[in-house]
Amino acid sequence: MLNINIHKKLKNYSLEISFQVDNEIIVLFGPSGAGKTTILNCIAGITKPDSGIIQLNHTTLYETGKKPLPIQKRNLGYLFQDYALFPHMTVCKNVTYGMVDKTFTDDLIRTVGIGHLLDSYPKQISGGEKQRVALVRALATQPKALLLDEPFSALDKDTRIDCQDELLRLHKLWKIPVIMVTHDYEEAEKLGDRILHLNNGRIMED
């Protein structure tokens, strides 16, 4: 379970957020500048809150006045819109880069169907293929939670639907807390067990 309670002063308003994520997919939905990426960055350890607490299962990632847990020790998978694969490495090298277990990773490669791409370089594969590779790479580290920042928004509609289906299928197999940011309401309704509406750094009540 992921428990988030953070306060952070931003340029035009203060982020005041409190929510919990069980082994479910939570969608953060809201206008540009509402604070969605900042929340993910605080959880990932890229941005530091001013105060609050962030816990993942029994591990405290951040707590006011204490030394934050370093990014690489947080056990999180983070997937961005722009793929973020290492361009100089083959797909195989990319997905095995931080892997924990070879059998588990081989299973993932088979499940997501990227086996035929292993010898290719990122520039030789399509956007949808890159995003599948990025998803496999994130899950191969066996993260305890997954953060997705508009992961499919650069893809065409059919590819986006395929990738959404893939994510739902994988989540059924490996139930972990997932937080996903999207601007696409159809996607939010399809993937989210719950949708949190964010505006000016606060979660709006339904």
Ligand X SMILES: Nc1ncnc2c1ncn2[C@@H]1O[C@H](COP(=O)(O)OP(=O)(O)OP(=O)(O)O)[C@@H](O)[C@H]1O
Residues that bind ligand X (CB under 6 A): 10-12, 30, 32-38, 47
Between 35 and 128, CB nearer to ligand X: 35
Query: Cβ 150 to ligand X, closest distance in Å?
Result: 7
Q: In what order do the strands lie in the sheet with 202-204?
A: 76-79, 145-149, 178-181, 25-29, 194-199, 202-204
CA 161 → CA 59, 110, 125, 148, 183, distances in Å? 34, 19, 18, 16, 15
Computed on alpha carbons and rounded to an integer, the radius of gyration of the chain in Å comes to: 17
- 194-199/202-204 β-pairing: antiparallel
For ligand X, which is the closer residue by CB, 37 or 142?
37
The minimum distance between CB 129 and ligand X, in angstroms, equals: 24
H-state helical runs in 48-113: 91-96, 102-112
Packing angle of the helix pair 102-112, 127-140 (nearest 10 deg)? 150
Nearest distance, CB of residue 158 and ligand X, angstroms: 24
Nearer to ligand X, 13 or 104 (CB): 13
Question: How near is the Cβ of 137 to ligand X at its closest, in Å?
Answer: 22
**CB-nearer residue toward ligand X: 7 or 93:** 7
CB closer to ligand X out of 21 and 117? 21
Least Å distance, CB 154 to ligand X, is: 13
Q: What are phi and psi of 133, to 5 degrees?
A: -60, -45
Nearest CA among 104, 168, 172 for reference residue 142: 104
